[in-house]
Amino acid sequence: MQTTSQLHPTYYFSSRRSSIRSNSSMKLGGWNSSQLGFTGRGQSLRFLTPIHKTRLFVISDADDGHAYAPVLEEDSNTNHVPSSEPETFFSKWSPPKYLWRGLSVLVLAGQVIIQTLKGKVHWRNTLQQLERVGPKSVGVCLLTSAFVGMAFTIQFVREFTRLGLNQSVGGVLALAFSRELSPVVTSIVVAGRIGSAFAAELGTMQVSEQTDTLRVLGSNPVDYLVTPRVIASSLALPFLTLMCFTVGMASSALLADSVYGISINIILDSAQRALRSWDIISAMIKSQVFGMIISIVSCAWGVTTMGGAKGVGESTTSAVVISLVGIFMADFALSYCFFQGAGDSLKNCV
């Protein structure tokens, strides 16, 4: 038996075009590839495997007279492209969906204001959207306002009659409708009817790449799609609110006269003495702010839609919910700013 006489460390890189010259026949141990071959002395070994670094220790004197080369060490780094940039926390972090959508609302609002001040408004599209938000929404808004007015009349008249304050019913209804009910109810109806339509339309255009087509044609999607909808909503909501206030008061007076025996003249006279011009103006300001919230939120959720038809449905639902939350928050903020301190509107109605 012969003993091992030498240890020759050998390094090689195997690839589809790399080769190792051998001066004697060799046996390779620890190799698992079937794409490896050699022909003998003076021939080249060709390895048809991916780039792989291995360290061999060749033992020249083995028992059978052939050199034996076991694979002792492998380089575990299979990715041979060095990373030039160190990994940081923010390299793998992506902002939550609600965060960048909320920021998109602010960015879109700023773009709409800038484009409007510059006069870059597509007026034909604005008139089409104005017809859609205004006249085509009158019916459902007036119907909703009428039934809400009658429901509040039932509650107020029952309690005020027991206290002997029949002459104050009209004033209370007028203040409730002008300050809160008319702008809020109208905005809720418009958010469900128009806001969902805005989000669905722009979401479908986004997932079908129609907005990219507008950019290719040289048109700004904000000027053509978003700004007309915001202007139309801001202009139509105050007039819808005023009509809803009128219909709500009329339905309340008719119900009080026909069911509870309180004359229409008493209701209207009490409302006239309680109302101030600022009450009507504040209602129109509120409705205009609510219209901007509905249109901007719906358009922002639409242009940030992803995920095909499922994403369009989710954006539509989310746009309506966020619009309603924004309406209630804005209503509280505006009411706190407009009506501070002790009020004296009802002192003339008692």
The tens digit of pLDDT for each residue in 61-108 reads 545 555 555 544 444 444 555 555 555 655 666 766 777 777 888 888
Q: Name the least confident of 47-51, 144-148, 206-210.
A: 47-51
- pLDDT for 78 equals 47
Looking at the DSSP bridge assignments, the partners of residue 57 are 9
Decide if 41 contacts 24 (C-beta within 8 A): yes
Question: 310-314: long-range contacts at Cβ-Cβ below 8 A with a sequence spacing of 24 or more?
Answer: 311/203, 311/207, 312/200, 312/203, 312/204, 312/207
Average pLDDT, the chain: 77
Q: Are strands 26-29 and 67-74 parallel, antiparallel or unpaired?
A: parallel
Cα–Cα distance, 141 to 242 (Å, whole number): 11
Beta strands in the chain (DSSP E): 7-14, 19-21, 26-29, 36-37, 44-47, 52-59, 67-74
CA angle (318 as vertex; 248, 94 as ends), nearest 5: 150
Percentage of residues of the chain with pLDDT beyond 70: 69
**Nearest alpha-carbon partner for 304 in 91, 98, 116:** 98
Residues 6 or more apart whose CB falls under 8 angstroms from that of 252 comprise 149, 150, 152, 153, 173, 177, 267
- pLDDT for 47 equals 46
